């Protein structure tokens, strides 16, 4: 933000030098990037943080200086003299897209004389790097830099139908801006149009066809509110940034809309003559009342470590524009000013008192009491998940939330709805909000392969964006855990089982056949959870990546991926530590080799074996699978496993172990049609 020192002194009496004032302002958050001399004036180059849009005008800086120096702030009255003819009889305004432009105001001035601006205005604008054009355009720029509220002046006679229509642009619609460049628009862009074509890009730049010239006699003065996200997207899409778009992107003072309009008309009447139509055309919402905030004076000592007198704290808040509702010895309740959109919590008021009182007055050894904090249950579950994944040799990745269209289409296990599309790609072609973490992780894997990294074991915990509900609704944003590994399907499924076991040892993970274009059959499955009252809860998906998907992501090695719903893991998590005594008696292991039909899945066979071996079953480990039509029979396979048995009551004898095995063999034959391989 460039500030004319001579201009600033119009609002507040400053006896310091420009360099001294810049140094003082630096202590309240306005970083000093240097002071330069321009003729008889000094230009302060101040760095404004994104949350302080009120500092994007001379008055905002002057208000801050007045508080620091304890001087009164003098502002123009902005009370232009009005004529008899109502503005509504001279022009019409309508808004078709209130979500992009919630409010639009217009005033009309007739019989103006467009010409050069006075020297004092030319000098002030030149100090901050703005060249003079004519008195009307210079006044709109002057009020913009004075108040921070952008304005625009239209030649009313060149507006078709003498009307303004605020609408979305039509796809492919052409527009010529005042920089005399042509732009192709789309439906996401807000335009200010007349009866037949766009005459300005809302909040960004005016049009060449209705700009003010030496021949202009009638003016329509625009002052409006625009949705910040809309302005930001339009400016980025078109590569067209301006002083107006820079400010609208940051959300401005709603009360400043009408003040800036009146101030602009007041200066035009003084410097260009003419007659101002009576009243204002004001379409759209009115500014909402701010909610009160309470500051407890005890919090100043607790957070800052120093005593700030209650009277001083109240005086600081009042000087900054807050309206006091009530106060006593313990607290004060205030309504923040309309220009301070960043004030909405008690801690914000603490910060205001601290920075004006002076951070330099807080000693380095100030005692700030510490209080224990409590992590949420979600954070505790996430910590356990991370611990298991890191212990399994995985590194946590952080990837972008947008991917390119082919990657987005490769896998969407959670929804069939098309993804949300961003107006401007985050990276080249990456314009689809991801519906799964796996495409992003596979992209990270490809990057690591190109760098010849030998071990690429990654996981990510992040949100995905699932369209749903009615058109225009915001997406669902469930938290997911994504995994990509160079190990095989069994290794990754084992990691998932370890995660579940840490969260709840009694929970069971079961796999069910599934088909997704990303996965290779049959080495993939849909994972479900069972635990207590939770039955058959969808956990996620796991599988080896198919050869076609490997080609899509340009991967060379075998890759296995998995994606889990955090909500499912949270549902079965037991956060109370549990103690289970270890058996002091030795375990007994037996190898089992069953011949079953090809259609019998390992998960189903494993459940049958474990259920039959209870309560002595301690573990079951998959060893190998063997297929041979000549030896086993057509459509048959042999599954080799190791069953571990243990009893908490004593050492198992050979006869007891054999009895358990007999139950297992009988159960497999009865339920799965399998037999021991001879």
DSSP secondary structure code for residue 537 in this structure: E
| Pick from 277, 7, 11, 292: nearest CA to 121 | 7
- Please determine whether the domains at 2-69 and 293-361 fall in the same fold group of CATH: yes
List all residues 6 or more positions away from 560 whose beta carbon is below 8 Å from its beta carbon: 484, 485, 486, 487, 488, 489, 491, 492, 523, 542, 543, 544, 545
Q: Round to whole Å and give the CA distance between 22 and 15.
A: 13
CA angle 313, 306, 324 (to 5 degrees): 15
Say whether domain 293-361 belongs to CATH 3.40.50.720. no
Helix (H, G, I), strand (E, B) or coil at 38: strand
For 42-52, how does the pLDDT look when each residue is reduced to its tens digit (9 = 90+)? 999 999 998 99
Mean pLDDT computed over 569-590: 88
CATH of domain 2-69: 3.30.56.10
Residue ranges of alpha helices (H) inside 133-210 are 135-147
Tokens of 316: 């600081």
Mention the CATH class of domain 377-572. Answer: alpha beta
Say if pTM beats, i.e. exceeds, 0.75: no
For 510-567, how does the pLDDT look when each residue is reduced to its tens digit (9 = 90+)? 888 887 778 887 788 899 999 888 888 999 999 999 888 889 999 988 899 999 999 9
CATH of domain 82-284: 3.50.40.10
Tokens of 28: 């309240």
Q: Round to whole Å and give the CA distance between 563 and 571.
A: 16
Compute the radius of gyration of the chain from its Cα atoms.
35
List all residues 6 or more positions away from 613 whose beta carbon is below 8 Å from its beta carbon: 620, 643, 645, 660, 663, 664
pLDDT tops 80 at residue 609: yes
Q: Round to whole Å and give the CA distance between 678 and 665.
A: 13
Tokens of 475: 């997406």
Q: Round to whole Å and give the CA distance between 288 and 300.
A: 29
- CA 467 from chain centre, in angstroms, equals 16
| Pick from 678, 521, 538: nearest CA to 598 | 521
20 close to 33: Cβ distance less than 8 angstroms: no
310-319 vs 346-357: helix crossing angle, rounded to 10: 100
CA angle 96, 97, 99 (to 5 degrees): 150
Looking at residue 437, its pLDDT comes to: 94
pLDDT tops 80 at residue 425: no
Tokens of 551: 């080609």
Using CA atoms, how far residue 597 sits from 129, 239, 552, 606, 634, in Å, is: 82, 63, 34, 14, 9
| Phi-psi domain of 332 (left: phi exceeds 0; alpha: psi -120 through 50; beta: other) | beta
Looking at residue 176, its pLDDT comes to: 96
For 55-102, how does the pLDDT look when each residue is reduced to its tens digit (9 = 90+)? 999 999 999 999 999 999 999 999 999 999 999 999 999 999 999 999
Residue ranges of alpha helices (H) inside 400-510 are 405-410, 438-450, 489-503
Architecture of domain 588-676: 2-Layer Sandwich (3.30)
For 469-513, how does the pLDDT look when each residue is reduced to its tens digit (9 = 90+)? 677 678 899 999 999 999 998 899 999 999 999 999 889 888 888
Q: Which residues pair with 205 in a beta bridge?
A: 201
| Pick from 308, 358, 318, 319: nearest CA to 66 | 319
424 close to 489: Cβ distance less than 8 angstroms: no
For 231-267, how does the pLDDT look when each residue is reduced to its tens digit (9 = 90+)? 999 999 899 999 999 999 998 999 999 999 999 999 9
For 250-260, how does the pLDDT look when each residue is reduced to its tens digit (9 = 90+)? 989 999 999 99
Looking at residue 150, its pLDDT comes to: 97
Residue count of the chain: 678
Q: Round to whole Å and give the CA distance between 205 and 150.
A: 10
pLDDT tops 90 at residue 287: no
Exposure class string for 355-370: b at 16+ Cβ within 10 A, else e: ebbeeeeeeeeeeeee
Domain boundary assignment for the chain: 2-69, 82-284, 293-361, 377-572, 588-676
């Amino acid at each position: 933000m460039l500030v004319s020192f001579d201009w600033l002194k119009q609002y507040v009496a400053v006896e310091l030098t420009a360099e001294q004032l810049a140094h003082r302002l630096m202590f309240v958050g306005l970083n000093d990037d240097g002071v330069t001399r321009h003729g008889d004036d000094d230009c302060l180059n101040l760095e404004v943080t994104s949350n302080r849009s009120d500092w994007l005008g001379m008055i905002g800086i002057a208000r801050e200086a007045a508080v620091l120096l304890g001087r009164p702030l003098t502002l123009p009255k902005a009370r232009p003299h009005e004529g008899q003819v109502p503005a509504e009889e001279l022009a019409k305004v309508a808004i078709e897209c209130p979500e992009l432009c919630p409010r639009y105001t217009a005033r009309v001035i007739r019989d103006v004389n467009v010409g050069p601006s006075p020297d004092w205005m030319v000098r002030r604008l030149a100090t901050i790097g703005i060249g003079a054009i004519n008195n009307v355009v210079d006044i709109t720029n002057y009020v913009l830099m004075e108040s921070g509220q952008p304005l625009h002046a239209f030649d009313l006679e060149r507006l078709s139908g003498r009307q303004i229509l605020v609408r979305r642009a039509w796809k492919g619609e052409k527009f010529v801006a005042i920089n005399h460049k042509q732009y192709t628009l789309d439906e996401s862009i807000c335009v200010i149009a007349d009866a037949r074509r766009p005459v300005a890009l809302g909040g960004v730049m005016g049009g060449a066809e209705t700009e003010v010239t030496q021949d202009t006699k009638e003016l329509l003065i625009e002052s409006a509110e625009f949705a910040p996200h809309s302005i930001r997207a339009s400016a980025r899409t078109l590569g067209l940034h301006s002083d107006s778009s820079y400010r609208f992107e940051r959300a401005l003072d709603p009360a400043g809309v009408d003040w800036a309009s009146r101030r602009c008309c007041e200066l035009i009447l003084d410097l260009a003559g003419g007659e101002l139509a009576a009243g204002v055309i004001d379409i759209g919402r009115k500014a909402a009342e701010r909610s009160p905030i309470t500051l407890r004076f005890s919090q100043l000592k607790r957070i800052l470590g120093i005593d700030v007198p209650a009277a001083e704290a109240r005086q600081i808040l009042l000087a900054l524009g807050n309206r006091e509702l009530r106060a006593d010895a313990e607290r004060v309740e205030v309504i923040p000013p309309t220009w301070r959109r960043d004030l909405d919590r008690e801690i914000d008021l603490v910060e205001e008192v601290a920075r004006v009182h002076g951070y330099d007055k807080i000693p380095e050894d100030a005692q700030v009491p510490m209080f224990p904090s409590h992590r949420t249950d979600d954070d505790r579950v996430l910590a356990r998940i991370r611990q298991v994944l890191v212990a399994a040799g995985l590194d946590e990745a952080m990837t972008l939330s947008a991917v390119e269209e082919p990657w987005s289409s490769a896998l969407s296990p959670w929804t069939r709805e098309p993804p949300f599309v961003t107006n401007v790609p985050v990276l080249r072609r990456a314009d689809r909000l991801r519906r799964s973490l796996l495409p992003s992780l596979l992209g990270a894997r490809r990057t690591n392969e190109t760098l010849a990294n030998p071990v690429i074991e990654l996981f990510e915990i992040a949100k995905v964006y699932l369209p749903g509900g009615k058109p225009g609704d915001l997406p669902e944003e469930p938290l997911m855990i994504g995994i990509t590994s160079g190990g095989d399907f069994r290794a990754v499924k084992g990691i998932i089982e370890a995660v579940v076991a840490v969260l709840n040892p009694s929970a069971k993970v079961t796999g069910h056949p599934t088909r997704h274009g990303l996965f290779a059959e049959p080495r993939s499955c849909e994972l479900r959870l069972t635990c207590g009252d939770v039955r058959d809860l969808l956990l996620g998906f796991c599988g080896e990546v198919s050869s076609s998907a490997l080609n899509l992501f340009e991967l060379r090695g075998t890759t296995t991926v998995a994606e889990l719903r955090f909500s499912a893991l949270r549902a079965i998590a037991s956060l109370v530590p549990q103690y289970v005594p270890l058996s002091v008696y030795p375990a007994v292991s037996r190898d089992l080799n069953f011949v079953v039909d090809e259609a019998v899945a390992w998960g189903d066979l494993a459940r049958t074996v474990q259920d039959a071996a209870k309560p002595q079953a301690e573990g079951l480990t998959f060893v190998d699978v063997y297929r041979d039509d000549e030896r086993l029979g057509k459509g048959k396979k042999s599954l080799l496993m190791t069953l571990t048995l243990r009893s908490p009551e004593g050492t198992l004898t050979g006869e007891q172990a054999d009895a358990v095995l007999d139950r297992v063999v009988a159960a497999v034959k009865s339920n799965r049609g399998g037999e021991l391989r001879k």
